[in-house]
Structure formats: C-alpha cells, structure tokens
Structure 1
Amino acid sequence: METTIYHYALCVSLTLMLFFSYRFFFGRLPDSELYRPYRQSRRLMGVALLELSANYMVHFFITPRAVCPTIAILMNLCTYWLSVWLFGSAMMLLLDREWVSRRRFVRHIVGWVAYCLITLVLWFLLPSRVSLTALPIVLAIVFMAYAVRVARKVFLTFRRTIRRLDDYYSDDGAAYIRWMSVFTYWAVFFGAGQGVFTFVPDRYVFVWIISAIPFYTYLYESYSNYLLLYEKATDILDKSNDADAADEEQQTAQNPSQSVADNVNCELNARPQLVMSHDQEVALERGIKEWIDKEGYTVGGLNIADVARATTTNRTYLSAYINTHYQMTFREWVNMLRLDYAKRLMRDNPELPVAEVARQAGYLSLSYFTKTFKDAEGVTPGKWCR
C-alpha cells in the first residue's frame, strides 16, 4: 500500500468530514417550527458524518488494512450499514416529516446491531480460511441488499412527491427538491458501491478515500442551498397536502364507498380511479373550456386548487380528468397552454422582449420559460422568433 498517499487522502477527507459534521450540528438555522424537520435532517447527516469520521480515524491511526485487510473490510461494512440508514432517514425527513418514527428508528438500529454481532460471531466461529475469503463477500452482498432497499424507499417517496407537485403546481416546484434525487443516485453509487470498492487492492485504496471528497462536498452545499428554498418548497408541499386532505374529506362526505376504494389504491401506490357521471364530465369540460378561453392559465403561480375553484369542481376530479384526457400532469398541461400562448404572442408581436413574453404567459422565471420552450421546440424562444 502507498502509505503516504493513503494517509494524505485520509487526512484530507477526515478534515472535511469533521468540518461538515460540525456545520450540520452547529450552523445557524431559523428557530421557527417550520424548520424543525430540516434541523432534524441536518443532525442525522451530522451523526452519519461523525460515524464515518470515526471509521476514518481508525484507519488513519491504526491502519488495520496493513495488519489484516479482511478486518478492515468487515469494519467498513458495519460502519456503512448504519450510515446508509442515517443518510436515508435524513432524506426522508425532507420528503415525509412523519416517516422517522421511534419504532422505525429502533428497528433499524437493532438491525444494525444484529449485523455487527453476526459479523463478530462468524469471524470467531468460522475457520480462518472461510473468514478471510467467503465471509466478507457474503456480508457485502447482504449490506448492498440493505442499502438498495433503503435507497429504493427514498426514490419511491421522491417520485411520489414530484408527481404530487406536478399535479398541483403549474411551475417547476420539483426544482426545489431535485438535488435530493441527484444525491440519492450518488449515494447509491458511493454507498452501496462501497460493498465492492472496499475490496479494491491496497495500492488503490486511496482512490476510494479521495472519491468521498466531492460526494460530501456536494452534500453539504446542497443542504446549505436548500435552506434558502426550504420555506417555499415546504409551502408548496403543505398546500398540496392540505388540498389532498380537503378533497378526501369532501369525497368521504359525498361517496364513502368510493373514498374507501381510493384509500386502498393509495396504499397500493396506485393512482385513484375516480368515476364521473356523464353530466359531471360535460360540466367539467365546459368549465375548462371557459377557463381556457379567458386565458386563466396566464396567471403566475397558478395551482390546481385555483383552477378547480374557477371551474367549480373538485380538485381531485380535475386532476384525474387532466391525467386521463390529456395524458399529462397538471404542470405539463398548463405549460402546454402557456407555450401556445407565448408562441402566439411572439408571432403577433415579434418586437416583444422574451422576458415580457414569459411574464405575460404566466411564467415566474425567465430561465424556466426558456428551458420549457427549448424542451418543447428544440430551440430557445429567441431563435424560434428569428
């Protein structure tokens, strides 16, 4: 092993991790109750980094790889098991504030303790030849299965949250939380991949250590930037949740049996299949047409509750109608209407600045209008005009 490079890599990574963990614990944050999940998420990240820092310290001061590489591998796997849970829980707190319950926390901690005890017992009971060869491979496979399971839960929750935002808000509300998806993908590669990377030859192990530096730097920067967006993102999520709850209450009052069926569908992660009568569908079509004719979609910051009130219908029925008839989310549907309106504006008023076109079409952000336009037309609005 290149001991000098190895120790330099450990020293740099360890310094950064201790700094980031300190900032996660003691960085200044708003005292408002609104930020409680964010504070808890940061603390969990701080604990995860401290745990990994302790692992790095053992490698730095004792150098177990130089004594017995297998012991170093087993120690790493036990460390990563807990860090996977802490990383996953921190992400989930930002997406689902009620997910990290005492019961679930205890269950996963008990699972980690069991994994560590089984590793220790098997190390002493199995023949040395098996302990040095087969045991690390088997335990690495178990670890990667657990890591993928935790990551899958985060991914599914993230996707449901994105879908809920797209079915509620006309602008790109998902942009506020998209960094979580990037981080989770990276964490799967870096975290679950450790089950493989920890077996790299000793001479290359410093590469694995150095690879942690951009990972933890991105994590810290993302959390710091999200603090600036947290209030807005939480407001959108809360309004979406409140609208869901209000619609569910209304449906329960109007049709209890339909509401029960919808709840079953939600538990199965399926979209509720709402059945409208012919008269309801005709009235909704008429209301939507009138709303489009009045160019209601040009209002900035529009959400589906606003359109439901304007069309005198239920938000859930409106969402189901848009999803079924247009095969789009609410955000995609409104953007389609806005883009058509923007193109008409540019055709009729070629001298109009693109920023003014975006404003009149209902976009709150010129960059989002440009991105949406380019995704739809393949060119920027300026080039399309020319």
Structure 2
Amino acid sequence: MAEIYYLLTWGTFWLMLLCFVFLLTVSVPRRDDLRSYKRVRLLLAWGVFFLMTLVNLTELSMSDSRTNDDIWYTRLMTLWIGACVAPVFSIVNITLINSHFFSWRSLVRDLVIPLVLVAGNVFLFEIFSAKSLAFLFAYVVFIVYYVFVVVAYTVIFLRNYRQYSIRLNNYFSEPGSNLLKWTVTTQFLATSSGIMAFVSLFMPHGWLCVFALFLNILYPYYAIRFINYAFQFPVIAPVVEEVMEEEPVVRDSVLMLEDIVGEWEKDKRYLQPELNIEMVAHELSTNRTYLSSYINTCKNKNFKEWISDLRIAEAQRLLLSEPKTPINEIGERVGFSDKGNFSTRFSKSVGMSPSLWRKTHLK
C-alpha cells in the first residue's frame, strides 16, 4: 500500500505541474470583461499548485515507518491544506458565475486564518504533546473551523448559483444557453474531496491513496473546463457581468408596456430563435432591466417561461391546423432550435408530448 501511495503522490505532483503550466500558457480571448477570470486563473494555477506541491513534498520526505509525530503532522497538514483549498476552489467557481464576487481582502482573510490555526497547533504540539489538553483543544477548534469552511462555501456557491439561474432565465429564451452547469458538478466534487480529507484524519494512512487518486481526476478536469469557459464567456457575459436590480413598475409605465408588448406578441416576433431579453428590449425601445421587472411582476413569469408559453400556444395552433406537418418542423417554426427542448417544454406546459396532444385533439 505504501508503494502505491508514493507512486500516486509522485503522479499527483507531475499532474499538478502539467495543469499549472496548462493554465498559465493557454491563451484566452483578450476582453476587458474577463479581468476577474484572469485574476482567478492565477489564483487557481499558483494557489492550488503551491498547496498541493507542499503536501506532496512533505509526504515524500517522510519515511515508510511513520512515527506518531509524523501521523499528527500529516493530520495538521491535511487540515491546513483543506482549509485553504476549499475557499480557493469555491472563490474561483463563484467568480465564474458572478464576476463581482472576487475580493482580495476576503481571500487573504480565508488563507490567513488556517495559517494561524496550523501554526498554533504546531506550536502547542512541540511545546506540550499530542495528549495535552491545550493541543487537543486547539486541534478540535481547527477541525470545527475546517468543517465550517467547507459547508459555508458550499452554501455560498449554491446561493450564488441560484441567483445566476434566475438571471439566466430572465435573459435567455433557450435553456441551451446555460453553459455553466458543470460548475455545480465541480463544486460538489471539491466538497467531496474536502469530506474525504476530513475522513482521512480518522482512517489508516492508506486511505490517502483514495484521496490522491480523486485529486488526480478533479484538478485536470477542472483545469480543462476552466480554460473552455473563456471561449464560452461571450454568450453568458451579460448574465455573469451584470447583477440585475429590479426597478419598480409604475402604473403609467405598465399601461405603456402592455400596449407595446401586446403588439409585439400579436406580430409573433417571439418566433425568432435564440431570443434573449436584450434583443426584445431593443425591439420595444426599452431597457432590459425594466422589461424583466415588468415580465416578472405583471406576467408572473421569468423571460424564458414567457417566451416558451407563447411558442407553445402557437405550436398547439399549428399542430391542429397543419396535421400533416412533422413535429420537428413545427418546433423549429415556433422558435425552438432543439427538438428535445421543444418536446420537453411542451410536455411540461401541456402535460403530454406534442404527438400525443395532436392525436388526442384531432379525434
């Protein structure tokens, strides 16, 4: 088991080095609105590489026959690295869906606290012993802080992702524009690695083989996804960059918007594929924030639901008036660029598939 672990440790080191070089050398589009992305790219490359390299070198420097002191130092190192990697990964992940989230002050705070805790634990361990009440108390405090950081950042990510999803549905008419679902996967993978690190504190040393193997999968996967994000960014930039604030909709403005929105619906301009709220606001000569507020308040829907319901109603009309027209063609004509999306939205709205609905209503 020891040989396998050392092999994995060396493998992890070289893989981390490869990802580090990959993150820093691959060119990304030159855009001013990618400033936050470029900051967290440096953080992801240097921060994670430094921390994981420190772990690997420490592990490789220890002898096969580990003393009790070695085991305690490994536990403290695991807590320290985990308490640093959790905020680094989470801050990077959250910044991808909310570019206003990143803050150097918060990052420094989240890295200094575990450094102080590990230094205090090492000091007490050297002065007293692993069985002293002072050290055990400090160790428990460190564990509690570690658990708090992992849970807190998972909750913060989920809250930000929920807000991102709301902004997304208030901007795009097609769910295919959601290119950041992978951030949820990586966040939970990172949380899982944090849980595994915590469990390793109470397990035999061989358990770290599983942890090392897990990191060998997580970090390269995340690095590749992270680089691809820069090329997907132009599509989702309005959602990631701008945190929309609802504007109050006054009575006179409601009446005015009702008229122009009614005309827009009557002209069936919602049949345009891949609509977004910016395009509709431009056609209606208003701003996207105000239009979004109107749709949310007066239609009691988000933008995606509003457009989808209009298209479904038109699809129902065509399904009955043109019984020989293929389902796929009708889906395309009413603005759905994807066959699966049309069937899914239709079934969710009506309660049955387009073909079954047509068959039922043509009897």
Normalised by the length of structure 2, the TM-score is 0.82
- Paired residue for 2:219? 216
- The Cα offsets for residues 37-79 of structure 1, whole Å up to 9 and x where unpaired, read as 3333222211233121321232134258923322101011111
Spell out the pairing of 1:49-198 with structure 2 (5 A cutoff).
Answer: 49-50=48-49, 51-62=51-62, 66-67=66-67, 68-130=70-132, 135-172=138-175, 175-198=178-201
Normalised by the length of structure 1, the TM-score is 0.78
What is the one-letter code of the residue matched to 2:105?
R
**Equivalents in 2 of 1:351, 1:11: separation in Å?**
64
| Larger RCO: 1 or 2 (CA < 8 Å, sep 6+) | 2
Residues 157/55 of structure 1: CA separation in 2 closer, same or farther (3 Å cut)? same
Corresponding residue SS for 1:202? coil
Contact 2:96 2:240 in 1 (8 A): no
**Equivalents in 2 of 1:89, 1:176: separation in Å?**
19
| 1:48 correspondence with 2:51 | no
Contact 2:172 2:274 in 1 (8 A): yes
Once the two structures are aligned, what percentage of the paired residues are identical? 23
What is the one-letter code of the residue matched to 2:183?
M
Query: Unaligned stretches of 5+ in structure 2?
Result: none
- The Cα offsets for residues 273-332 of structure 1, whole Å up to 9 and x where unpaired, read as 83532x444443344333222212112232334444555666444433432344421112
**Equivalents in 1 of 2:357, 2:58: separation in Å?**
60
Contact 1:148 1:192 in 2 (8 A): no
Residues 214/299 of structure 1: CA separation in 2 closer, same or farther (3 Å cut)? same
User: 286-295 vs 30-39, which deviates more?
Assistant: 30-39
**Equivalents in 1 of 2:277, 2:287: separation in Å?**
10
- Paired residue for 2:25? 26
Shift of 1:224: 3.6
Aligned counterpart in structure 2 of residue 288 of structure 1, from 255, 258, 261: 261
- Paired residue for 1:360? 333
Aligned counterpart in structure 2 of residue 338 of structure 1, from 311, 333, 337: 311
How many equivalent pairs are there? 355
Contact 1:165 1:173 in 2 (8 A): no
Shift of 1:190: 1.8
**Equivalents in 2 of 1:381, 1:53: separation in Å?**
56
Shift of 1:109: 3.4
**Equivalents in 2 of 1:39, 1:308: separation in Å?**
31
What is the one-letter code of the residue matched to 2:296?
N
Residues 330/31 of structure 1: CA separation in 2 closer, same or farther (3 Å cut)? closer
User: 98-107 vs 324-333, which deviates more?
Assistant: 98-107
Corresponding residue SS for 1:341? helix
**Equivalents in 1 of 2:286, 2:227: separation in Å?**
40
- The Cα offsets for residues 177-225 of structure 1, whole Å up to 9 and x where unpaired, read as 2211221122222225522333222343322222223322431332243
Residues 122/174 of structure 1: CA separation in 2 closer, same or farther (3 Å cut)? farther
What is the one-letter code of the residue matched to 2:10?
C
Aligned counterpart in structure 2 of residue 226 of structure 1, from 226, 229, 235: 229
**Equivalents in 1 of 2:290, 2:297: separation in Å?**
10
Shift of 1:174: 5.6
RMSD: 3.2
Corresponding residue SS for 2:101? coil
